[in-house]
């Protein structure tokens, strides 16, 4: 559990650091943009590795029993989360309506997994990501103006296709390597 908690703390701290714009700008001024991005990426990857390993090694301590219907509902929610994630940089209706589609996608993903996982490690992992995404949405919406563009429906189609591909790839290949949890 220690590895999971440490990984979560590092991952969330480094991602919330980006909200401290003046502090972040000072670090970029000292290091340069690309070294900063490289360091940010390395720390994020190391934290992600710790989270993945820590989650897999955590004891199976049940906190609640997910309802029978949770798995299929979770699949639909995760698909929606991936479509939202894919719309992050695209100027479609997804971006216009959600403002922070990547963070909304993370929140939906976390809620979906909280619904389907009642174990202690899962609640810690997904609850942490849910809390992070809500805080980050509030911070980002407070510092950024609402999107001001004419949404391009093609961008929504691209997000839809990319989200479905990400979902199918994750379900078919990636999830098993990252988590001991069964999808079925």
Average pLDDT of span 7-23: 94
Q: Using 50, 70 and 90 to split pLDDT, how confident is the model at 184? A: very low
For the stretch 163-182, pLDDT in tens is: 999 999 998 876 665 555 55
Cβ(43)–Cβ(109) below 8 Å = no
Average pLDDT of span 58-64: 95
Q: Where are the domains of the chain?
A: 1-58, 62-184
pLDDT in the model for residue 16: 94
Average pLDDT of span 31-49: 96
pLDDT in the model for residue 178: 57
Cα–Cα distance list, 138 to 99, 135, 180 (Å): 11, 5, 32
For the stretch 107-153, pLDDT in tens is: 999 999 999 999 999 999 999 999 999 999 999 999 988 889 999 99
Distance, in Å, from the CA atom of 92 to the CA atom of 179, rounded to the nearest integer, reads 32
SS (H, E, C) the chain: CHHHHHHHHHHHHHHHHCCCHHHHHHHHHHHCHHHHHHHHHHHHHHHHHHHHHHHHHCCCCECCCCCCCHHHHHHHHHHHHHHHHHCCCCCCHHHHHHCCHHHHHHHHHHHHHHHHCCEHHHHHHHHHHHHHHHHHHHHHHHHCCCCCCCCCHHHHHHHHHHHHHHHHHHHHHHHHHHCCCCCC
């Amino acid at each position: 559990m220690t590895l999971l908690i440490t990984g979560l703390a590092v991952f969330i701290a480094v991602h919330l650091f980006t909200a401290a714009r003046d502090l972040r700008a000072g670090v970029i001024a000292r290091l340069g943009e690309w070294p900063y991005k490289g360091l940010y990426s390395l720390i994020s990857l190391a934290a992600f590795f710790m989270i993945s390993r820590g989650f897999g090694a955590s004891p199976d301590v049940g906190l609640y029993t997910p309802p029978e219907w949770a798995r299929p509902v979770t699949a639909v929610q995760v698909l929606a989360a991936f479509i939202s994630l894919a719309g992050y940089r695209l100027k479609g209706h997804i971006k216009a309506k959600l403002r922070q589609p990547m963070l909304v996608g993370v929140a939906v993903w976390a809620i979906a997994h909280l619904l389907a996982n009642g174990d202690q490690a899962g609640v810690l992992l997904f609850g942490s990501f849910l809390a992070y995404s809500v805080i980050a949405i509030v911070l980002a919406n407070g510092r950024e103006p609402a999107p001001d563009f004419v949404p391009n429906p093609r961008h929504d189609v691209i997000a839809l296709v990319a989200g479905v591909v990400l979902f199918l790839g994750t379900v078919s290949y990636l999830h098993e390597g990252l988590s001991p949890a069964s999808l079925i």
